[in-house]
Amino acid sequence: MIAMHRAARLRSMPIQAPRRKPGDCPTIRLQSPNRKPGAFFIKAPRRKPGDCPPFHLEAPPGKAGIALLIRPRGFTLTELLVAVSIVLVLMGLVSAAVAGARGSVKKQSTKSFIEKIDAVIQEQYSRYDSIAVPLTSIPASIANKSAGRAWFIRRNRITGDLPDRWSDVQFMAETPAQFPLDSVSGSQRAYIGFWNGMNPKPTAQFQGAECLFMIINVGGVADCLDCGELKGVARGDKDGDGAPEFWDEWSNPIGYLLWPAAFELPIGTRFFSAPDTPAGSLRQLSLPFPAAGGPPPGLGMRPLIYSAGPDREYGVETNINQANIGSSSDPGGLACGDLTMSPTSTYGGKASGPEYRADNITNFDDEAKQ
Ligand SMILES: [Ca+2]
Ligand SMILES: [Ca+2]
């Protein structure tokens, strides 16, 4: 009778409300899946009230095993906070990974831009050591003709063909006695025309980047008359002075320095060694002139092409007041890029403030790692 009475109750009440006793967790009786009289008894370990674990459903002896977890209540505030925290942490990790991937792509793309530009400049630069210089081009005051040849190449050819400052272009345009139109190179003639056609004249802020753009697109150096491989490089006029620049992937002009004598890479280490530079002298161009033999035309240096990197800060002093090829002290051009000229410059190095150079991307990065 007792069993029949219990079966009848189970059929009419599939789930009984938990009976709570002090110090105990609720017990629930369920009807068996085949709706035959029977019950699964839920056993919960004794715990403190309000600290019951999820209910464990057990099949009765002799029945097919069933093991279910039933959560008899909603989430607690603590559980929700933990879940939300986990989701936020996961979202943060995913966002950081995505941002990192984007940053890496931009760095690689900018590096590719710089390599393409550098290839054009390097091809042109490599030609100067072997070019012929007429003796009549060397001032009579220079007794050492070898040194005089190197001077002429540095000043009238390299600096004239690959300028990094508008003052040099202006000097060529306005000083026909030293740069006569009938004897300047084709590139120089193109720059003179470019300069004369600019109104108003460009400012000095991004002049290195602007001159680089002019060299590639106007100068026709290294047979780069169409430079198809450079068409994908971003460009614009950052300072709105009418002279465009190549841009990196952070929309900042790609910088250019023709004589980066004190350039440091890694930071703190002079990149260009100069074995014949006297101790304490920062570059060979400031040697007493003419020196015995004279420094070679390119001085072992090569132009620096650099991006400010993700922080958009160059951290490179370009010394816009540095002496140009029109310098009248000693033979003109002797002090090209001389960082000992006033104002004292950390040419190619840290100017002041935070270290902005660490994330810069340059055409010498790979070489510095070797
Ligand atoms: Ca500009
Ligand atoms: Ca930087």
Q: Which ligand is nearest to the CA of 356?
A: 2
281 Cα: distance to centroid of ligand 2 (angstroms) = 27
Give the model's confidence band at 213: pLDDT under 50 very low, under 70 low, under 90 confident, else very high: very high
* Two structure tokens written together for 333: 């051009």
231: pLDDT confidence band, cut at 50, 70 and 90? confident
**Which ligand minimizes its atom distance to the CA of 246?**
1
- Which of 123, 126, 119, 52 lies closest to 296, judged by CA? 126
CA–CA dist 45, 48 (Å, integer): 10
Say how many Å lie between the CA of residue 361 and the centre of ligand 2: 8
- What's the pTM value of the predicted model, to 2 decimals? 0.69
Question: Could you report the per-residue pLDDT of 72-119, keeping only the tens digit for each?
Answer: 567 889 999 999 999 999 998 988 888 888 889 999 999 999 999 999
Residue 230 alpha carbon to ligand 1 centre in Å: 18
For ion ligand 1, residues whose CB falls within 5 Å = 237, 239, 241, 243
Ligand 2 centre to CA of 365 (Å) is 14
Number of Cβ atoms within 10 Å of the Cβ of 31: 18
Using the mean position of ligand 2's atoms as its centre, give its distance from the Cα of residue 158 in Å: 28
Shortest-distance ligand to the CA of residue 198:
1
Say how many Å lie between the CA of residue 354 and the centre of ligand 2.
10
Higher per-residue pLDDT: 332 or 135: 135
- Give the position of tokens 């004369």: 196
Residue 256, phi then psi, degrees to nearest 5: -150, 130
The CA angle 77-81-87, to the nearest 5 degrees, is 145
Is 22's pLDDT higher than 90?
no
pLDDT at 238: 96
pLDDT tens per residue across span 311-346: 999 888 775 445 556 555 555 555 555 544 433 345
What burial class does residue 189 get, using C-beta atoms within 10 Å of its C-beta: 0-12 exposed, 13-18 middle, 19+ buried?
middle
Domain boundaries, the chain: 1-73, 101-369
Ligand closest to Cα of 203 equals 1
- For 195, phi then psi, to 5°, come to -65, -45
